[in-house]
Amino acid sequence: MTLDWSVVWDNRWRLIAGAEMTILLTAITMMLALPGGLILALLRLSPLRAVRSATTWFVEFFRATPLILQIYWMFYVLPAAFDIRLSEFATALLGLTLNVSSFNSETFRAGIQSIRPGQWNAGLALGMSKPQVMRKIILPQATLRVLPALASTWVSLFKDTSLVSIIAVADLSYVALKIRSETYRVLEVLTAMAALYCLMGYPQAKLVDWLHRRLKVTE
């Protein structure tokens, strides 16, 4: 079996463009999913039972079903059943954002609930309203506490963007698989794809480890 790595070198710009799309998708999704997750978390902690219930079902549904199926569902069902026509990129973004928002909402909720009740009591005793306490006292502490978990979610999201290749969004996986089917150099192209993901993912994972060490909670 002879290996011909020139295929990878010749197509390097396409692969790099794919990597850029992967990073773009990750960044935009996280930008939307952080506030999205926070909103869902606050809705889950709402005093109104109906709001709490509906949000819980929403979040649990997105956490218990595979992301790939969610993306397929949005891609095929939105135009066919609801007459909503989005571009592939928008559909992918929608699917990823809703999914990651649900995971983020659990993270934020855990962070908010981990702040000692004394903080709440002190804030309320000082005459602040509940939203004020949440905004000025609880959320800043909670966000710092869950930053490592959010960073882990970022790395997972980075890997999950590979799934948008199935609806022909030109991320790294899509581009690599396309090059493979054009050149039939299976081992070289697929190994290059794995290596590129590793190259991008490994520093991120180490950064997350550093964040975990740095922001460890010691009470």
Which residues of this protein are in contact with other proteins, per CB under 8 A? 1, 60-61, 63-70, 72-73, 76-77, 80-82, 159-163, 165-166, 173, 177, 180, 186-187, 190-191, 193-194, 197-198, 200-202, 204-205
Least distance from C-beta 173 to other proteins, angstroms?
Answer: 6
Least distance from C-beta 205 to other proteins, angstroms?
Answer: 6
Query: Do 138 and 114 contact (CB within 8 A), yes or no?
Result: no
Cβ distance to other proteins smaller for residue 50 or 81: 81
Cβ distance to other proteins smaller for residue 77 or 122: 77
Least distance from C-beta 77 to other proteins, angstroms?
Answer: 5
Cβ distance to other proteins smaller for residue 140 or 201: 201
CA 49 to chain centre: 28
d(CA 22, CA 173): 9
Cβ distance to other proteins smaller for residue 55 or 165: 165
Least distance from C-beta 126 to other proteins, angstroms?
Answer: 35
**How buried is residue 118: exposed, middle or buried, by Cβ count under 10 Å (0-12/13-18/19+)?**
exposed
d(CA 117, CA 99): 30
Least distance from C-beta 75 to other proteins, angstroms?
Answer: 9
Largest Cα separation within the chain, whole Å, is: 76
Residues 6+ apart with CB under 8 A from 33: 96, 97, 100, 101, 104, 157
Cβ distance to other proteins smaller for residue 145 or 180: 180
Query: Do 163 and 71 contact (CB within 8 A), yes or no?
Result: yes
Least distance from C-beta 158 to other proteins, angstroms?
Answer: 8
The two structure tokens encoding residue 177: 């698989």
Q: What is the dihedral of CA 218, 137, 156, 84, to 10 degrees?
A: 170
Cβ distance to other proteins smaller for residue 31 or 194: 194
